[in-house]
């Protein structure tokens, strides 16, 4: 049985190139066993067009760099097998909601850094003067598991790209921001109280701005339970009690 010929419809635009205009370009490539979209893009750049721009680092689905919209779905190119598509035509677009660097490359790092600074996504220790020689305090296994689950986020931006609210309002924190808040709200080593988080997630830019379309939940390549997390934070805020 002969291999399929794949047809890639790829978005092209370099904002740094004077006179360049957004468009799509068609590339053809013979499919090979186990081929991912990431492998195909590397072959296209090596064999057909060295100016093609896209991002990658780990090639194992743990860095989030190769996130893009593949046949209408935000996901990771390195984890998407071309064999999963019945049609040989594969459309590739950059993630919406982020600054475009060129072609399929977007600046998620700029967005994620600003978001981390906004929500204070670092540990605020309860001990103002921690001793570096002291033994690490034991942690309840259930608490450690909850923190680990939140820390599995690779900041790929797929949840932002799949969120209707984030596309309409730039100030919306989005699921990746809620995940950061929950990660530190759950951590008993963090000195912040629930009131310290209310001004961040207690309005339309926070969990009450979510329209519950669950684009974040459906498009997360790490299968994080954003739906349950958003619902949990909403309940705690409405009760006027505490986040923990």
Q: Is the pLDDT of residue 3 over 90?
A: no
Query: What's 11's domain CATH number?
Result: 3.10.20.30
Q: Is residue 244 part of a domain?
A: no
Identify whether residues 99 and 199 lie together within a single domain: no
The domain boundary residue, chosen from 80, 105, 130: 105
**Rounded mean pLDDT of the chain?**
91
The answer to whether the CB of 79 falls within 8 A of the CB of 223 is no
**Could you report the per-residue pLDDT of 192-244, keeping only the tens digit for each?**
877 787 788 888 899 889 998 889 999 999 999 998 888 878 877 776 544 44
How many folded domains does the chain comprise?
2
Query: For the range 198-201, what are the long-range contacts, defined as Cβ-Cβ under 8 Å and sequence gap of 24 or more?
Result: 198/237, 200/118, 200/119, 200/173, 201/173, 201/177, 201/233, 201/237
pLDDT at 1: 58
Averaged over 178-184, what is the pLDDT? 91
The answer to whether the CB of 97 falls within 8 A of the CB of 46 is no
pLDDT at 244: 40
pLDDT at 240: 58
Pairing of strands 67-70, 23-30: unpaired
Distance CA 42, CA 174 (A): 31
pLDDT at 242: 45
- How is residue 133 written in tokens? 């020689």
Identify whether residues 88 and 127 lie together within a single domain: no
User: Is this prediction's pTM over 0.85?
Assistant: yes
pLDDT at 136: 80
**Could you report the per-residue pLDDT of 91-145, keeping only the tens digit for each?**
999 999 999 999 999 999 999 999 999 999 999 888 777 778 888 888 999 999 9
Query: What's 151's domain CATH number?
Result: 1.10.1060.10
Contacts of 218 (CB under 8 A, 6+ apart): 162
For residue 105, give the nearest of 53, 50, 49, 27 by alpha carbon: 53
Q: Is residue 145 part of a domain?
A: yes
Q: Quick count: other Cβ atoms within 10 Å of Cβ 56?
A: 15
SS3 87: coil
Distance CA 223, CA 152 (A): 9
Q: Is the pLDDT of residue 186 over 90?
A: no
**Could you report the per-residue pLDDT of 153-162, keeping only the tens digit for each?**
999 999 999 9
Between 18 and 186, the more confident residue is 18
> Domain range for residue 164?
107-239
């Amino acid at each position: 049985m002969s291999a399929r010929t794949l047809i890639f419809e790829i978005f092209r635009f370099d904002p740094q190139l004077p006179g360049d205009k957004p468009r799509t370009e068609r590339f053809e490539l013979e499919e090979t066993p186990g081929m991912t979209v990431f492998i195909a893009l590397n072959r296209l750049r090596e064999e057909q067009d060295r100016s093609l721009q896209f991002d990658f680092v780990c090639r194992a689905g743990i860095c989030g760099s190769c996130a893009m919209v593949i046949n209408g779905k935000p996901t990771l190119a390195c984890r998407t097998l071309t064999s999963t598509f019945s049609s040989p035509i594969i459309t590739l677009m950059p993630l919406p909601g982020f600054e475009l660097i060129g072609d399929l490359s977007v600046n998620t790092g700029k967005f994620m850094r600003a978001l981390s600074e906004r929500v204070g996504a670092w540990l605020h220790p309860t001990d103002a003067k921690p001793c570096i020689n002291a033994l690490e305090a034991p942690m309840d296994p259930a608490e450690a598991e909850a923190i680990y689950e939140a820390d599995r986020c690779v900041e790929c931006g797929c949840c932002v790209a799949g969120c209707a609210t984030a596309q309409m309002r730039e100030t919306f924190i989005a699921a990746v921001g809620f995940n950061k808040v929950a990660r530190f709200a759950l951590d008993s080593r963090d000195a912040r109280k629930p009131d310290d988080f209310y001004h961040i997630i207690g309005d339309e830019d926070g969990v009450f701005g979510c329209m519950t379309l669950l684009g974040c939940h459906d498009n997360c390549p790490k299968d994080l339970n954003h739906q349950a997390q958003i619902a949990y934070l909403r309940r705690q805020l409405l009760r006027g009690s505490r986040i923990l």
